[in-house]
Amino acid sequence: MPDQSPDAPQSRQPAMAQGERRLSLSPGEPPALSDAVPPGPAEVIAFVPADMNAVSSVPADPERAVAYQRHCAAIVESSDDAIISKSLDGIVESWNPAAERLFGYSAAEMIGQPMTCIFPPERLAEEAYILEHLRQGERVLHFETVRRSKSGRQINVSVSISPIFDDSGRIVGASKIARDITERFRNQHVMWLQSNYDSLTGMPKRALFEERLDQLIAEAPAQGARLAVLYIDLDHFKQVNDGLGRIAGDQVIAAAAGRIRDGLRDTDSVARLGGDEFVVLLSPTASGDEIERVAKHVMEQLREPIQIETETVYISCSIGCSMYPQHGADAEELVRHADLAMFDAKTAGRNRLRFFAQPLEVSAQEQLKLGAALRTAVAQHELKLVYQPVVCLRTGQVHKCEALIRWHHPERGLVSPAQFIPLAESTGAIRDIGDWVFHEVTRQLQLWQARFGPDFQVSLNVSPLQLAPGAQDVGDWVRALRTAGVAGKSMVVEITESLMVQPEAGIAARLHALREAGVQLAIDDFGTGYSNLNNLSQMDLSFLKVDQSFTRRLGQPGRDHALVEAIVGMARSLGLQVIAEGVETKEQEAVLRELGCDYGQGYLYARPMPAPELERYIARQRAARPDLA
């Protein structure tokens, strides 16, 4: 096995997102090709045992042996791949014409020279590491690295290296096959840049920005860091675009981007979200005063006149700010809250900074616009489901998950469920959305039961409005399950605790119809409402889900430990199983297991993910513990 100590040389694979992940995203141009390939934390070179018996034997007949050797030599000489042999000291012993073409050195120049002649300085450690493992009878397959030609040009190559055995089985050298993958690497790099960097401004796009922000959020608790997000929107830019035309509008955007860069500190990052919107990451930030100084500097830069040929253009900007950890736990939430604060700055008169405040109400106009878009979201295929695994605390295995809805608005990007679900309920769109969710989960369950077995479960949240009289006909849902061949017990419907206070007769009848079909019921966010315990015992429930607010405070001084213990005890007495939401630490997991909680769900195990990722997640778990699958 390769040495995985810190001193072991490592090589970066050409997965572009990984290659760029180390960039700071500080203001500047997109990275060049060479920026993506230096060695750094990545995959360790993979070695596999070499099999001496797999090598073809030279014919015993002298004439046939000579013909065989000539044939092998001809293959080497005519190969399009560089084929090189070297001693165990790394001295070149043969160098075919393809090697001459690839690296620019003739055979006469290289034979007798160390192989490291073609290594860039930062790659020199690779040679000793590889030779050490070759001496042990191991080989390297398709190792992607960088070498240097005679002209000094860096070449991306895929290398396979095998030990050479003599007649007695001793390892006496190594053979190397190198293929030029620079063009492939370059194409991947170009595609990655096009996907992640804005062609007009050279700035990162939203996905790369949010990836960087999530990285810093993950590191922030250990470092005690505070972060801030500025959402910048140019004021009245549409008038510029309409009055001067798109080309002039692009020139204004490019000039504004440069000025935003100039207004930031060296440690800050900026991205273009599209149109006239930009987002800035202030890292680190100490106080609101510091944020105001940076925002004021950006606003001053943008107020300076912009000359577009014979026209002088004046612009300003509105800025919204959200701060970590006060205003959000992840990049998506922080950007969204900064966006809401920016809208508040617009409505307050533009050309100003506003900080996010709880609650920051969305205006009636914005609600109307979002509501109209939400009504067409299903037909426009803007909704998707992600799934978060629910882990058995006794075995660590996953036999169930929760389906969670996401809305990708074509202009606003990802809209938080906390924002659009209440809007869907108020506009009546929740019925169509809920129906789509049910049928999508049914379709997914049909596939997963064939793969993971008939006991695999998926839970979904159902709004009280979906169960109200005149809403969904749950008979349609039951028929959909039967048509798909999905057992009702595979579906868990999560309802809010508020339904337990005074359940309407119609709602109770619909829940009863689902239970008659085998569908299981769960109370979501248990402990935050005012459950009627008598109704709790009469509604034929299967699960209680402990609200994440209790879970997150486990292990801290307070009454939450006793409350969770009481919930688990009550559930046991009613024959219910308990799922704890919001599990984020091993300490919380240990306390829950000690209390007798059945399942855990939270970021300790995984974030919500698309269906294919969940399949890979479960497959890895089951491969690791086939006895529990």
Q: Indicate if the pLDDT at residue 359 is higher than 80.
A: no
Q: What is the pTM for the complete model shown?
A: 0.46
45 or 74, which is more confident = 74
Q: Which CATH class is domain 16-187?
A: alpha beta
* Homologous superfamily in CATH for domain 199-361: Reverse transcriptase/Diguanylate cyclase domain (3.30.70.270)
Considering the four listed CATH numbers 3.20.20.450, 3.20.20.80, 3.40.50.300, 3.40.50.10480, the one that applies to the domain covering 375-624 is 3.20.20.450
534 DSSP 8-state letter: H
Q: At what angle do helices 560-573 and 586-595 cross, to 10 degrees?
A: 40
Q: Indicate if the pLDDT at residue 127 is higher than 60.
A: yes
Q: At what angle do helices 430-452 and 417-427 cross, to 10 degrees?
A: 120
Q: Indicate if the pLDDT at residue 472 is higher than 60.
A: yes
pLDDT band at 474 (very low <50, low <70, confident <90, very high): confident
Q: Report the range of poorest mean pLDDT among 250-259, 361-370, 490-499, 514-523.
A: 361-370
> Considering the chain, what is the average pLDDT of its residues?
83
Average pLDDT for residues 430-434, to the nearest whole number? Answer: 90
C-alpha separations of 574 from 74, 490, 495, 496 in Å:
81, 21, 18, 18
pLDDT band at 265 (very low <50, low <70, confident <90, very high): confident
Q: What is the length of the chain?
A: 629
Number of neighbouring beta carbons within 10 Å of residue 132: 14
pLDDT at 26: 43
Average pLDDT for residues 489-493, to the nearest whole number? Answer: 94
Q: Report the range of poorest mean pLDDT among 241-245, 261-265, 351-355, 386-390.
A: 241-245
The reply to whether domains 199-361 and 375-624 share a CATH topology is: no
Average pLDDT for residues 7-14, to the nearest whole number? Answer: 34
pLDDT band at 622 (very low <50, low <70, confident <90, very high): confident
pLDDT at 560: 73
Q: Report the range of poorest mean pLDDT among 10-19, 53-62, 520-529.
A: 10-19
pLDDT in tens, 102-112: 999 999 999 99
pLDDT band at 273 (very low <50, low <70, confident <90, very high): very high
pLDDT at 401: 96
pLDDT in tens, 551-581: 888 877 667 788 888 888 888 888 899 999 9
Place of tokens 């046939």: 64
Q: Indicate if the pLDDT at residue 19 is higher than 60.
A: no
Contact 34, 166 (CB under 8 A): no
Q: Indicate if the pLDDT at residue 30 is higher than 90.
A: no
Alpha-helical segments (H) within 348-489: 364-375, 417-427, 430-452, 464-467, 474-484
pLDDT band at 20 (very low <50, low <70, confident <90, very high): very low
Contact 124, 110 (CB under 8 A): no
Beta partners for residue 524, in sequence order:
496
Q: Indicate if the pLDDT at residue 39 is higher than 50.
A: no
pLDDT at 166: 87
The token pair at 213 is: 């922000």
Q: Is 220 exposed, middle or buried (0-12, 13-18, 19+ CB in 10 A)?
A: middle
pLDDT at 398: 93
pLDDT at 2: 35
198 DSSP 8-state letter: -
Q: Is 455 exposed, middle or buried (0-12, 13-18, 19+ CB in 10 A)?
A: exposed
pLDDT at 253: 95
Enumerate the domain spans of the chain: 16-187, 199-361, 375-624
Q: Indicate if the pLDDT at residue 122 is higher than 80.
A: yes
pLDDT at 629: 58
Average pLDDT for residues 472-501, to the nearest whole number? Answer: 85
User: Rounded to the nearest 5 degrees, what angle is found at the Cα of 216, between the Cα atoms of 211 and 221?
Assistant: 140
Percentage of the chain surpassing pLDDT 70?
84
Sign of CA dihedral 7, 11, 16, 20: positive
For 347, phi then psi, to 5°, come to: -70, -20
Q: Indicate if the pLDDT at residue 471 is higher than 80.
A: no
pLDDT in tens, 310-335: 888 889 999 999 999 888 889 999 99
Q: Indicate if the pLDDT at residue 393 is higher than 70.
A: yes
Q: Report the range of poorest mean pLDDT among 338-347, 408-417, 494-503, 549-558.
A: 494-503
56 or 291, which is more confident = 291
pLDDT at 488: 92
Q: Report the range of poorest mean pLDDT among 201-210, 290-299, 426-435.
A: 426-435
C-alpha separations of 548 from 283, 326, 526, 597, 600 in Å:
29, 18, 9, 14, 10
The per-type count for the chain, helices as H runs and strands as E runs, is: 22, 22
